[in-house]
Amino acid sequence: MNINLMGLLGLLVLVCVSLLIYIFYQRREVLFYKREQAELDEYAAEVETIYRQLRGIRHDYRNHLQAMDAFVETDQLSELREYIRQLTNELNQVDTIIRTGNTMIDALVNTKLTKAQEQGIELFATAIAPAKLPIENADLAIIIGNLLNNAVEATKQQIKDASQRPFIRLYIAPMKSNLYISLTNTMKYNPQPSFLSLKTPNRVGHGLRRIDQTVEKYKGYVNRQWEDGVFVTEITIPLLSETASDN
């Protein structure tokens, strides 16, 4: 009877520990998802602000031309220079790293890479994307947002390293009926196997797992490579659904 009781107590303890671990990981997942949603809202607000400013500038374009023409006609060149300087400052406030016309991609890339640029990271970014993609905005935020988060975090660690200038190189474009995303960034040390296998219990590992899950949702492909202090991630996502391709 005592042996059976001890066994039952041991089983109960094991169940309780397993339940606590499960609750811990579930709560952590919820926190990550809430953070992703908050970042998505931030991206959307950022790009809407940029586009609203650009629409305002376009709306006033004719008025600006008429004002500058008046300065030229009356030979007020100093006033014209000051007017142009003011317009230039206004345009600089809405300057962006990329402008594809796809609202979500523009918001994601410009928000993340502008912050990286301010920290002294060298940027090379080229992006071409259709205005509409067969990928939900929330999923784009998961893929591109986590890619850039990880790249910025890895690259920031090398800012004080004089041996190699930290950089991020991003390329996005349609390619053979796929959306192709390539992200290259400096990373001094080869990531541990646990990093590549997505088993590390941290934000980077979680981000990688979320990228893989989301790309798999769209029947896409992810490839990661590290060599000579550079980490490269390539992602391809079909732009045509299986149903469309069958037709």
* Statement: residue 243 has pLDDT above 60: no
pLDDT for residue 51: 64
Q: What is the pLDDT of residues 212-228, one digit of tens each?
A: 999 999 999 999 998 88
Instruction: Please state, in angstroms and rounded to a whole number, the distance separating the CA atoms of residues 161 and 148.
Output: 21
Instruction: Please state, in angstroms and rounded to a whole number, the distance separating the CA atoms of residues 188 and 85.
Output: 42
Burial level of 170, CB count in 10 A (0-12/13-18/19+)?
A: buried
* Statement: residue 95 has pLDDT above 70: no
8 A C-beta contact, residue 46 and residue 111: yes
* Statement: residue 38 has pLDDT above 80: no
* Statement: residue 199 has pLDDT above 50: no
Q: Which domains does the chain have, with CATH numbers?
A: 97-246 (3.30.565.10)
**Within the chain, where are the H helices?**
2-59, 61-73, 77-92, 103-118, 137-140, 146-156, 193-196, 203-217, 242-246
Q: What is the pLDDT of residues 121-151, one digit of tens each?
A: 888 998 988 888 999 888 888 899 889 988 9
* Statement: residue 64 has pLDDT above 50: yes
Q: What is the mean pLDDT of residues 78-88?
A: 83
Instruction: Please state, in angstroms and rounded to a whole number, the distance separating the CA atoms of residues 234 and 225.
Output: 9
Instruction: Please state, in angstroms and rounded to a whole number, the distance separating the CA atoms of residues 43 and 39.
Output: 6
The torsion angle over the Cα atoms of residues 37, 235, 194 and 198, rounded to 10 degrees, is: 40
